[in-house]
Each structure stands twice: as C-alpha cells, then as structure tokens.
Amino acid sequence: MQAIKRILVIIDPNQQKHIALTRAKLIAGVIESELHLLVCEDRPDHTPLLEKLTAELTAEGFTASHTQCWHRNLTETIIHVLQSEGCGLVVKQHLPDNPLKKALLTPDDWKLLRYCPSPVLMVKTTESWMKGAVLAAVDLGNRDDQHKVLHDTIVSNASDMVEMIAGTLHVVSAHPAPMLSAADPVYQLRENIHQRYMDHAQAYVERYDLKEEQIHIDEGPADTLIPRIARQVGASVTVIGTVARKGLSGALIGNTCEVVLDQLECDLLVLKPEDMLAHLEDILQK
C-alpha cells in the first residue's frame, strides 16, 4: 500500500456525507499520496461540488484534483479515469443493492470488484478505524502459486493497515467439512483438516507475531464464516482477495468478496494477485 502514489475517490453527489473521501484522506495522510476525486455522471454539472471539496483538501495540506465524466457505465468510467490519472487504489462508498435488482442484474459494485485493475476499498460505515481490528481473509487450503501470492498480498496489506491505525491483525480461513470418500486421508477427519490449515497458517503466525486468538480457522463456507468472524473481532476493515472469475462461472457463482460485500458490517478492501492485474489490464487495452 505504501507504493500507491495516487488514490481515486468516487464522489456520489447525492450523498450528504462523503465517507469514501474520509477514508481516502486517512490513507493518503499516512502514505503521502495524492487524491483525485471523480463524479461518474454526464450531467448535471457537479463542478461546484468538486471544486469545493478539492479546495478543502488543499487547505488541509493534501494534493488534490477532480474530474466529472461518463463512459458507457460506472465500471468503465472508473477504470478509464483510474488509468488516465495513474491511480493505484479506488475508494468508493458501497450502498446495498435492491435484492430483486441484484437477482436480475449484476450489481455495479460487483462488476467493479471483478474488473478493476487495482485494489478497491468499499466503504460501508462512518465508524473510525483507529485502534480497530483488521481481518485478513485467506483460503489456506488453496496452495497454488497464484493463490499463495494473493494470500501473502492480503496479509501484508492488512498488516500495513494495522500499522496505519494502531490496530490488531486477525487472519481467518474456512475449511471444508470432512468427507470419508476424500482421496486425501487428511480430509476424512475434522481434526486433521483443522491441523493442516493451522500448519499452513504458521508462516503468518511467525512473520507477524500473531497469537492463537488472532487466527480463526473453522469449518463452513467462507461467505458465512468471514462476516461472522468480522463481527466477533469487531473488524474495522476486512481485506480479501479475488482471482476475478470470468465467463459463466463468474456470472453465476460470483467471488466470495462479492457475496460478503452486503453481509459485512465493516469496510472491505479487495485485492488481486499481480498476474491477474496484468491480465485485466491486457483485456482493458483491447
């Protein structure tokens, strides 16, 4: 996160409080990055609002700029400005979608999490992050190179945020239920599965000096376990990753980060592995 030099902040002119901007200011103040404000609308003209917010940021000592534009849809607009302005992080307020609409159409925020070639912070609350818990959600049972890079990135960024807010780091991972028919004998007994996941977590325990109560490994679907543990530890922000499923699988199943977005009561930072970012950038350039 320290390498981010510019943050793109999505401003919703219909909201009285710009909570995404509040979060972006906290991050920018620590890592000394610039802020670029974006209103994703063609009309009416919201230049007066953007100029006011930019002037306030400048008075507070931030380097800030702004844009209002529209390119076919919300996701394309954000990605276009992200790339043209050289931003390394998107910060956006998330508002719950209508359940019926969500059943019929892929929500805009899901599309953004899926296709944005940079980390995305979805802001959900006005609660202060300071001295709070940061929950890193990983899949310790998935050990291929792409997921390992993603897991390391998730925990590393979560650790950076802990330092930023003088908070506490927690790591959560869901494991499957035992199956007597499993080819690997480890997955036939619950105790063995739990121990294997604990063994995989040991690298993070040692690297970040974590205590037993900071590691949360339990049976069940990740999209149920993550919100439960987030509530249990009082998480201010949850850090999660996605390998950005494509095609019919992604459209029907969705990634865990999309499913938990409305279930979490805290903010959500979504990351992708470096090779997936490069792949998404290639797609966007075509």
The pLDDT of residue 101 = 67
pLDDT band at 244; cut points 50, 70, 90: low
**CATH code of the domain occupying 133-285:** 3.40.50.12370
Q: What pLDDT is recorded for position 180?
A: 66
CATH 3.40.50.620 maps onto the chain at: 6-93
* Alpha-carbon gap, residue 35 to 54, rounded angstroms: 9
Taking only the tens place, the pLDDT of each residue in 56-87 is 999 999 999 999 999 999 999 999 999 999 99
The CATH code belonging to domain 6-93 is 3.40.50.620
Phi-psi region for residue 61, left (φ > 0), alpha (ψ -120 to 50) or beta?
left
Please report, as a single letter, which amino acid is at residue 23. R
Per-residue pLDDT tens over the stretch 81-124: 999 999 999 999 998 877 766 667 788 999 999 889 899 999 99
CB neighbours of residue 42 within 10 Å? 11
Which pLDDT band, with edges at 50, 70 and 90, does 3 fall under?
confident
What pTM, to 2 d.p., does this model score? Answer: 0.89
Q: Above 80 in pLDDT, residue 211?
A: yes
Q: Which of 56, 48, 51, 80 is nearest to 66 (CA)?
A: 51
Strands, DSSP E only, in 50-157?
A: 64-68, 89-93, 120-123, 133-137
Residues 6+ apart with CB under 8 A from 239: 134, 135, 136, 137, 154, 155, 157, 158, 161, 269, 271
Parts of the chain belonging to CATH 3.40.50.12370: 133-285
DSSP 137: E
The whole-number pLDDT of residue 267 equals: 97
Pairwise pLDDT comparison (47 vs 185), residue with the higher score: 47
